[in-house]
């Protein structure tokens, strides 16, 4: 597995990481045994970055990671968590007292004294623009509560605003074959600033898994059922904001371009990780098979797959089916 620098922290992380929203909630239930097995399978296949958040299962995801890492003290894993979604999205809630309370809760859940990386969790644009936000985060670093900080964003404009902050370690943003706008400005700007980029929702909530059809159904507690139109949070987090039927058509066109032996999710993850400026891709997994498959996609970065040809296919499908509806947003 390739590794890349985590901004200017001196740490390195795997080109394919593991997103752990699935281990908390909002994707249907995953048992404790299955969750720990997913974490074990990912690390066994070279993953060295776990991405989580304090609201994933109200802390369940963090706690499971803490349990897993406590059993492997020489694990070498970097844990990136997020904070800011425990209260209504009023900019006034992003204040030093809440930052400390949220960070302390995450430290307890993860069983650590210092959090490796804390990201603001898709905050309002006013929070990103406020100098006080970043001063408060600098204070947490100075006090050893967190080692580094970043921000997860909904829009490219928010990413570009955050990149002006000198101590920013990473940007987390939706980037996949159905969401190409970060290629325009965000990735080049992050690369120039030596800020890491985490590509989230890389498989468009499973649309790019190649497994879904018009007949596929999702559990009632799965955001792919209850948030297709942004009923609970930004609709871009569900299927990358793409209409489900259009996404199926786009995924089938991409799959048809692939050689035998290369799956659509593997090609997608490798393509994302190969784009200049991307540090790591953070697909989620509900089971060991998915975790292994995601991690093994990293091998395609080392040859044996025509990434340039797939890149051309990605742009053709995006331009034909998605650009007009998706590119002006986010």
Coil, helix or strand at residue 16: strand
Taking a C-beta distance cutoff of 8 angstroms, is the pair 54, 66 a contact?
Answer: no
Query: What is the predicted pLDDT for the residue at 230?
Result: 85
Query: What is the predicted pLDDT for the residue at 304?
Result: 87
Q: What is the pTM of this model?
A: 0.95
The DSSP result for 281-293, as a single string, is: E--B-SSHHHHHH
Domains, the chain: 3-326 (3.20.20.100)
User: Considering just the CA atoms, what is the radius of gyration of the chain in Å?
Assistant: 18
3-state helix, strand, coil in the chain (%, to 5): 50, 15, 40
Summarised one tens digit per residue, pLDDT across range 70-118 is 998 888 999 999 999 999 999 999 999 999 999 999 999 999 999 999 9
Neighbouring-strand partners of residue 179: 176
Number of C-alpha atoms within 13 angstroms, CB side, residue 261? 5
Strands (E), 85-131: 117-121
Query: What is the predicted pLDDT for the residue at 26?
Result: 60
Instruction: Please tell me the total number of residues recorded for the chain in this structure.
Output: 330
The overall average pLDDT reported for the chain is 95
Query: What is the predicted pLDDT for the residue at 229?
Result: 82
For range 318-329, the mean pLDDT: 96
Query: What is the predicted pLDDT for the residue at 27?
Result: 57
Question: Residue 59 region, left (φ>0) first, then alpha (ψ -120 to 50), else beta?
Answer: left
Please report how the helices 60-70 and 96-110 are oriented relative to each other, as an axis angle in degrees rounded to 10: 50
* H-helix or E-strand spanning residue 14: strand 12-14
To 10 degrees, the CA torsion angle through 123, 27, 258, 298?
70
Please report how the helices 32-44 and 288-296 are oriented relative to each other, as an axis angle in degrees rounded to 10: 20
Taking a C-beta distance cutoff of 8 angstroms, is the pair 195, 168 a contact?
Answer: yes
User: In the structure, what pLDDT confidence band is assigned to residue 25 with cuts at 50, 70 and 90?
Assistant: low
For range 296-310, the mean pLDDT: 95
| Token duo for residue 303 | 């040859």
Terminal Cα distance for the chain, rounded: 31
Query: What is the predicted pLDDT for the residue at 175?
Result: 98
Rounded-to-integer distance, Cα 82 and Cα 327, Å = 26
């Amino acid at each position: 597995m390739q590794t890349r620098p985590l901004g200017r922290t001196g740490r390195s992380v795997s080109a394919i990481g593991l997103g752990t929203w699935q281990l908390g909630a909002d994707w249907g239930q995953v048992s404790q045994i299955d969750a720990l097995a997913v974490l074990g399978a990912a690390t066994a296949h070279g993953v060295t970055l776990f991405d989580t958040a304090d609201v994933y299962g109200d802390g369940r995801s963090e706690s499971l990671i803490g349990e897993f890492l406590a059993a492997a003290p020489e694990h070498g894993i970097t844990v990136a968590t997020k904070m800011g979604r425990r209260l209504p999205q009023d900019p006034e809630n992003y204040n030093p007292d809440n930052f400390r309370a949220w960070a302390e809760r995450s430290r307890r859940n993860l069983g650590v004294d210092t959090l490796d990386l804390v990201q603001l969790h898709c905050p309002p644009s006013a929070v990103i623009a406020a100098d006080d936000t970043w001063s408060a985060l600098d204070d947490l670093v100075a006090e050893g509560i967190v080692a580094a900080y970043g921000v997860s964003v909904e829009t490219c404009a928010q990413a570009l605003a955050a990149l002006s902050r000198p101590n920013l370690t990473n940007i987390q943003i939706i980037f996949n074959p159905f969401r190409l706008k970060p290629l325009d400005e965000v990735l080049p700007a992050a690369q120039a600033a030596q800020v890491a980029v985490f590509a989230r929702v890389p498989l468009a909530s499973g649309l790019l898994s190649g497994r879904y059809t018009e007949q596929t159904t999702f559990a009632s507690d799965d955001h792919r059922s209850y948030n297709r139109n942004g009923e609970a949070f930004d609709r871009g987090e569900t299927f990358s904001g793409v209409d489900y039927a259009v996404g199926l058509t786009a995924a089938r066109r991409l799959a048809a371009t692939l050689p035998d032996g290369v799956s659509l999710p593997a090609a997608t993850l490798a393509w994302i990780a190969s784009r200049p400026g991307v540090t790591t891709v953070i697909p989620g997994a509900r089971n060991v098979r998915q975790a292994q498959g995601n991690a093994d996609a990293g091998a395609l970065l080392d040859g044996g797959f025509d990434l340039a040809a797939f890149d051309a296919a990605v742009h053709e499908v995006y331009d034909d089916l998605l650009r007009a509806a998706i590119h002006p947003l986010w």
